[in-house]
Amino acid sequence: MANQLTNIDRRNFLRLTGITGAGLVLGLSAHADGAATVENLAAAGESFELTPYVVIEKSGQITIFNTKPEIGQGTFQSIPALIAEELEVSLDKVVIQHTGGEKKFGGAQFSGGSASVRTSYTSLRKVGASAREMLITAAATQWNVPVSECYASDAKVFHKPSGKSLGYGELAEAAAKVEVPKEPRLKDPKDFTILGKSTPRPDVPLKVNGTAQFGIDVSVPGMVYASIERCPVLGSKLVSYDDSAAKKVKGVVAVEKCERIHGVYRSEGVAVIAETYWAALQGRKALKVTWDHQGNDKFNSKTYEQSLRDASKQEGAVEHSQGDFDKTFAEAPVKLEAFYETPIVSHSPIEPMNCVASWKDGSLEIWTSTQVPGRIMDEFTKTYDVAPEKLKIHVMFNGGGFGRRLYPDYVHEAVQLTKKIGRPVKSIWTREDDTRMGPFRPMTFSAMKGALSADGKAIAFQHKVISPTLDMRKDYDKTKADRTMTEGISEQKYEIANMKNLYVHHYLHLPLAAWRAVTSTTLAFSHECFIDEMAVKAKKDPMAFRLGMLTKESDTKNVLNKLKEVSNWDKPLPAGWGRGVAQYEFFAGLGGFVVEVSKKGTGIKIEKVYAVIDLGTVVNPDTVEAQVQGAAVMALTAAVKSGITFENGQTVQSNYHNNQLVRINEMPKVEVHILANGGPRIKGVGEPGLPPFAPALCNAIYAATGKRIRRLPFDINKIV
Amino acid sequence: MIKLTINNQTYEVDASPEMPLLWAIRDMVGLTGTKFGCGMAQCGACTVHVDGNPVRSCSFPVSAAVGKKITTIEGLSERIGEAVKKAWIELQVPQCGYCQSGQIMSATALLKTKPKPTDADIDAAMQGNLCRCGTYQRIRSAIHRASELIQS
Ligand code: FES
Ligand code: FES
């Protein structure tokens, strides 16, 4: 990565951020962080001029810019911490500011792909270390003493022999004139006071006393509220509407069309705009809208699922091939096949989609909860023909992201409405809008084949994925495997000599989206349950069977060994209990679970959950624990609750009463273990705790009951 | 005009009587700590206290709140509420934080009636509060911790 530290053009930068009295402004001249992104949001590889990250003002105030929106994953702490650690300042002495897509802050202004910490770890530490060295040099020069006699601590530089000190604010101006060190010396991890420690997150107190500002909490003078009627049959066209009754509702000020823009998926809606949100909702109820369903009112989940099963007969595009799968499978003494199915699910963050937008004299201002300020800057300057310096994006705390807020469709609507009526507009989706309209995580179906040698060794393996794709173009090239939809299936470390993984694309007209841990959330289920089926067929213990395929050293092997240890895998369980294991490695990282269940009436009870996440390097263990526990809950919801289904083109589910989430009484105890043994690769935190949960659970259910679950969701209270 | 007493202050709001209390609190009074999540008493994000009892303000007409004492997260200040907030910070409960005002209001109401709640009491009292981030394990621990803080 060609990161170069730069003491940037301060005048330009200050104009940009509105900070006055700045002394030292340090940034990176960097390529975009080069992160693996969920859907290429950040045009990786594109180089950006400058990425300023830290500003030290003469007053002593230190501002650290955070390009990774806080969605609950802890970047409001973990990202500034990288700089603060090296700068020798504690986070409670620092102002943390979210960036708003400004070009100066580079191409990686987004939260997604569990990429924030793993892609910033070294580069941001270098920023902090450079600032520290420049401040020390400035102090040594002023005192006329050797640099080696000075050190930094608690936002001050000290002269060891004399004990005198100067604050960073006092040094900032002089430090700004010091040459930026080429290779700043990074702290030895054993001297860390923040990194690797469970440090309190600065956003937590705000989220406990109600003062944290989420997008939905924003209010600007003259603002009106919008609620938008969209066709319940997804993929319909607006024909006409009658707003005469809506306009009679007290408080309604306007009724306007707007377009939802979600990649290739476009749909028009009718917005009722009113002085209060309540009035907008009443006005919306009074609208009469005529839609052309384009034939999509015939769409049903059951029929579509059958068409996926039919499509599985196609050969498909080769995603990965090694050895000779076809021959080995044909000649193998023992073989097995199985078909796995998963549902469409919703993101359902508790903060519904919303956006405040204000268009005034050719300038556009946006306040919203979003994961992608960088994308909004790129996309909206083009779509609405507004110069980058006339677009101001305020990134608010996100009331949940999970991938939903990678897509600014709800921002588009608000922007169009403010342009039309000339007043600031706050658009809020209802929970029903959120549940019915998507975008949704697509399902994947999997046709699995495996072969064993006579002595029970895995010799051939095939994972064929049949699914729609996040690339929703009708002219999708079926001859190519979509690697987003086959995520991880060829990345597992199991040493199986003959493998051929395939992909069959099947069109779906619905708006689709990445969901926390993307396609690994469904593929890990089929993959790791089928590995279990192979173990059973081979009459081997599922843990031993897996470890038997991992003769070489690998992180996966370490994860499984750790799981074996912390779960006391070899210790017998009470009668009626069972335990299951699963792991999954994919672009975001690597995690694994052992789940213990017991029979309870006709169903099962989850008794205990052990999680191991492999990070290489950890920044905040407490946050990691929380993320893995949360990922387990989200995975459990996706495994045992209804998911999203369609009848006559309409989403069957509408709100939390029929699109249920796991509640506190259903929450199993999750014990989290972190592997942080160094190594070159830093792995992600937010997502890897999700994919292996459902297969570990279903493998445990098999162990306890003999019932093999091959379709999600399933009713956990009706297993036997 | 409808007269409301929120956090010991009186407000007059120009709301239709059937409008949910939630929107009066958020959009008219301007206290945004109370959140909108579902609008049908399914998620608990909008939980406030009305005369000390936890109420889903999204499904509670503003007219029914007249003459009653409403407490929101911003006004949560007595001993039990403070203990809950303290425990919540100590255990770093929030992730995205959006559901947490409602969680804290429900937890405070629970501890008022049951200063030493069992896990079953917590299940019963907190089941109405969804957390999509999945902070439930910490919520449970933090309620037990708050209970300790109250005893001491
Ligand atoms: S918003 Fe009131 S319970 Fe969900
Ligand atoms: S902390 Fe995010 S919904 Fe509960």
In chain B, what are the domain boundaries?
2-75, 79-151
Which residues of chain B neighbour A655 with C-beta distances below 8 Å? 38-40, 42
Has residue A6 got a pLDDT over 60?
no
C-alpha pair distances (Å), B22 with each of A34, B47, B130: 44, 9, 17
Ligand index nearest the alpha carbon of residue B106: 1
Of B97, B100, B137, Cβ closest to residue A669 = B137
Please write the tens of the pLDDT for every residue from A337-368.
999 999 999 999 999 999 999 999 999 999 99
Binary contact (A200, B32; C-beta < 8 A): no
d(Cα A445, Cα A447) in Å, to the nearest integer? Answer: 7
Has residue A433 got a pLDDT over 90?
yes
What is the arithmetic mean of pLDDT over A395-424? 98
Binary contact (B127, A665; C-beta < 8 A): yes
Has residue A68 got a pLDDT over 50?
yes
User: Would you say domain A301-344+440-705 falls under CATH 3.30.365.10?
Assistant: yes
Has residue A20 got a pLDDT over 80?
no
The topology under which CATH files domain B79-151 is DNA polymerase; domain 1 (1.10.150)
Of B72, B89, B98, Cβ closest to residue A204 = B89
Does the CA dihedral B78-B54-B145-B43 come out positive or negative? negative
Q: What's the per-residue H, E or C state across A70-110?
A: CCCCCHHHHHHHHHHHHHCCCHHHEEEEECCCCHHHCCCCC
For ligand 2, the distance from its centroid to the CA atom of residue B129, given in whole angstroms, is 10
Has residue A436 got a pLDDT over 90?
yes
Distance from the Cα of residue A603 to its chain's centroid = 32
Q: What is the pLDDT of residue A26?
A: 67
Closest residue in chain B to residue A431, using alpha carbons only? B38
Binary contact (A209, B33; C-beta < 8 A): yes
For ligand 2, the distance from its centroid to the CA atom of residue A374, given in whole angstroms, is 24
Ligand 2 probe mutation, A206, A347, A350, A397, most atoms within 8 A of CB: A350
Has residue A36 got a pLDDT over 80?
no
Q: Are A647 and A588 in contact (CB under 8 A)?
A: no
Peptide bond connecting A713 to the previous residue in cis, omega within 30 degrees of 0: yes
Mutate to test the interface with A, among B98, B105, B130 (most CBs of A within 10 A): B98
What is the arithmetic mean of pLDDT over A695-701? 98
More confident residue, A42 or A251: A251
Binary contact (A400, B133; C-beta < 8 A): yes
Closest residue in chain B to residue A662, using alpha carbons only? B130
**% of chain A with per-residue pLDDT over 70:** 93
Please write the tens of the pLDDT for every residue from A547-560.
999 999 999 999 99
CATH of domain B2-75: 3.10.20.30
**Hey, what are A108's tokens?**
């990686």
Nearest alpha-carbon partner for A707 in A595, A602, A575, A608: A602
What is the arithmetic mean of pLDDT over A456-475? 93
What is the arithmetic mean of pLDDT over A19-23? 55
**Hey, what are A70's tokens?**
């806080």
Kindly list the protein residues whose Cβ atom lies closer than 6 A to any atom of ligand 2: A 72, 350, 400; B 94-100, 131-133, 135
Average pLDDT of chain A, as a whole number:
92
Which residues of chain B neighbour A204 with C-beta distances below 8 Å? 88-89, 92-94, 97
Binary contact (A656, B129; C-beta < 8 A): no
Query: Three-state SS for A423?
Result: coil
Ligand index nearest the alpha carbon of residue B43: 1
Which residues of chain B neighbour A78 with C-beta distances below 8 Å? none
Please name the residue ranges forming H helices in chain B. 21-23, 79-90, 100-113, 119-126, 136-151
d(Cα B3, Cα B11) in Å, to the nearest integer? Answer: 6
CATH of domain A220-295+347-437: 3.30.365.10
Closest residue in chain A to residue B45, using alpha carbons only? A350
Which residues are registered as beta bridge partners of A5?
A: A28
Binary contact (A351, B43; C-beta < 8 A): no
Kindly list the protein residues whose Cβ atom lies closer than 6 A to any atom of ligand 1: B 36-39, 41-46, 56, 58
pTM above 0.90, yes or no: yes
Has residue A11 got a pLDDT over 90?
no
Confidence of residue A50 (pLDDT cuts 50, 70, 90): very low
For ligand 1, the distance from its centroid to the CA atom of residue B25, given in whole angstroms, is 13
Chain B closest-CA separation from residue A401 CA (Å):
8
Of B16, B43, B135, Cβ closest to residue A626 = B135
Q: What is the pLDDT of residue A21?
A: 54
Q: What is the pLDDT of residue A27?
A: 63
Has residue A3 got a pLDDT over 70?
no
Peptide bond connecting A439 to the previous residue in cis, omega within 30 degrees of 0: yes
d(Cα A432, Cα A495) in Å, to the nearest integer? Answer: 47
- Which atom, in ligand 1's list, is nearest to the CA of B36? 1
DSSP 8-state symbol, A193: S
Please write the tens of the pLDDT for every residue from A265-283.
999 999 999 999 999 999 9
Q: What is the pLDDT of residue A40?
A: 19
Please state the domain extents for chain A.
4-208, 220-295+347-437, 301-344+440-705
d(Cα A367, Cα A218) in Å, to the nearest integer? Answer: 7
Longest dimension (CA), chain A: 83
Which residues of chain A neighbour B73 with C-beta distances below 8 Å? 209-210
Nearest alpha-carbon partner for A355 in A215, A260, A245, A261: A215
C-alpha pair distances (Å), A155 with each of A72, A88, A151, A467: 28, 6, 11, 54
Which residues of chain B neighbour A221 with C-beta distances below 8 Å? none
CATH of domain A4-208: 3.30.365.10
What is the arithmetic mean of pLDDT over A300-316? 98
Q: What is the pLDDT of residue A28?
A: 61
Has residue A440 got a pLDDT over 90?
yes
- Which atom, in ligand 2's list, is nearest to the CA of B134? 4
For ligand 1, the distance from its centroid to the CA atom of residue B34, given in whole angstroms, is 10
Does the fold of domain A301-344+440-705 match that of domain A220-295+347-437?
A: yes
DSSP 8-state symbol, A207: H
Sole residue written with tokens 């989430």: A661
Has residue A39 got a pLDDT over 50?
no
For ligand 1, the distance from its centroid to the CA atom of residue A355, given in whole angstroms, is 19
Please write the tens of the pLDDT for every residue from A511-525.
999 999 999 999 999
Which residues are registered as beta bridge partners of A29?
A: A4
Binary contact (A349, B34; C-beta < 8 A): no
Q: Whose CA is nearest to atom 4 of ligand 2?
A: B131
Q: What is the pLDDT of residue A104?
A: 76
Which residues of chain A neighbour B48 with C-beta distances below 8 Å? none
Has residue A218 got a pLDDT over 50?
yes
**Hey, what are A656's tokens?**
């939390």
Q: What is the pLDDT of residue A658?
A: 98
What is the arithmetic mean of pLDDT over A590-613? 97
Tell me phi and psi for residue A343, to 5 degrees.
Answer: -100, 170
d(Cα A672, Cα A32) in Å, to the nearest integer? Answer: 32
What ipTM describes this predicted complex? 0.98
